[in-house]
Amino acid sequence: MTPPLRPVGPVNLSGRFAPLDAELIALLRVLRHEDWARPTACARWNVKDIAAHLLDGNVRRLSFQRDGMSAKPDVPIDEYADLVRYLNRLNAEWVTASRRISPPLLIDLLEHTGSQVSRLFAELDPEGSAIFPVAWAGEARSANWFDIAREYTERWLHQQQIRDAVGAPGLTSREWLHPVLDVFLRALPHRYRDVAAPPRTGLHVAIEGPAGGDWTLRRGPAGWVLYAGASRASTRVHMDQDTAWRLFSKGLVPSKSRGRVRIEGDQALGAGVLDALAIMA
C-alpha cells in the first residue's frame, strides 16, 4: 500500500553547518599549491575564488544578521533579474578583492567565521522572519528555517564544486545530499506557477540513489503544492541523484540532461522539472 502523501514542511538544518564546515576546512588544508588555481564549474572562478565566495557569505551573514548592519542594496531592485544582477556584482567584487588573500589566511578566516555562523543559526527562531527571503522559491518573506536550509544547499554546492575540481570524494551520502535535494525540490511550485492543469493533476519526481527519494507536485485550488512521497501520478520524472543536484544548480543544462532523465506520461508537463532552478540565476 502506498503511504499517504504529506505536504513538505520545515526542515531544521542549523546543526549541519559545523560538520559541513569541518569537511571543508579539512579538504582545504590538504590542497596543493596548484589545486587552488584549478578551474571549477563556476564560470571564471577557480578553487580559491569559490573558497573566497564562501567567506563572503560568512562575513555578510554575521554583519547583516548578527550585527545589524544595513543590508539595503545600493541600486533599485524592481524585479528578480535586478536582484540577480546585484548579487552577481557583489560576488564578483568580493572575489576580485580576495585574490590578495593567501590560501592559509583564507582557511583561517573561513574557520573563524564559520563557527560564528553556526552559532548564529542555532540561536535563531526557526519560524521567525528571515533576513533574506528565498527568492528562487518565489517568496517575498521566508521563515528562518527556509533561509538556513537554502544557505546549507549553497554551502554544500560550492564545496562539492571544489571537490569536483580537485578530484576529492564528494559529500554525496544520504546525510549530506538528501537535505540538499529535499530543499532544491521546493523550487518546483514556483517553477510551475503559470502552468495550467486540472485540479489534482500530479507530477511524480523520483530521484534514484542512496540520497534520493520521491516527491509529488500536485495541482490544488490555489496553485501547485509539493508533497513528500510517491504517487500514482500519470506523469513521472526519473533521474539519479547526481543528475538531480547538478540540474537544479545549473551545473547541467536541460539540453544535455535528456539522456540522464526519463519522463513518462505528459512530456511537456514533465519537462518543466528540467529547467527548475534552486539557485539565484
Beta strands in the chain (DSSP E): 6-7, 202-208, 213-220, 223-228, 235-240, 261-264
Report the SS3 class of residue 29: helix
Beta strand 223-228 with 235-240: parallel, antiparallel or unpaired? unpaired
- Could you tell me which CATH class the domain 7-171 is placed in? mainly alpha
- At residue 139 the predicted structure's pLDDT band, cuts being 50, 70 and 90, is very high
Domain boundaries, the chain: 7-171, 185-275
Q: What is the pLDDT of residue 216?
A: 98
Cβ atoms of residues 226 and 186 within 8 Å:
yes
Q: What is the mean pLDDT of residues 244-266?
A: 90
Distance between CA atoms of residues 144 and 124, nearest Å:
7
Q: In the predicted model, is pLDDT for residue 4 greater than 80?
A: no
What is the tens place of the pLDDT at every residue in 148-204? 999 999 999 999 999 999 999 999 999 999 999 999 999 999 999 999 999 999 999
Task: List phi, psi (to 5°) of 249.
Answer: -110, 15
| Mean pLDDT over the full length of the chain | 95
pLDDT in tens, 197-249: 999 999 999 999 999 999 999 999 999 999 999 988 989 999 999 999 999 99
Q: What is the reported pLDDT for 2?
A: 61
Give the side-chain half-sphere CA count within 13 A for 165: 28
Lowest mean pLDDT segment, chosen from 11-20, 57-66, 70-79, 210-219: 70-79
CA distance linking residue 13 with residue 152, whole number of Å: 7
Contacts of 114 (CB under 8 A, 6+ apart): 17, 18, 21, 24, 25, 58
Instruction: Kindly give, in sequence order, each residue whose CB lies less than 8 Å from that of residue 176, ignoring residues fewer than 6 positions away.
Output: 20, 156, 211
pLDDT of residue 17: 98
Does this model's pTM top 0.75? My answer is yes
The set of cell numbers assigned to 183 is: 530543499
Cβ burial of 174 (10 Å; 0-12, 13-18, 19+) is middle
- Same CATH topology for 7-171 and 185-275: the answer is no
Q: At what angle do helices 241-248 and 174-184 cross, to 10 degrees?
A: 50
CATH architecture entry for 185-275: 2-Layer Sandwich (3.30)
Counting beta carbons within 10 angstroms of the beta carbon of residue 222, is it exposed (0 to 12), middle (13 to 18) or buried (19 or more)? exposed
Q: DSSP state, 258?
A: G
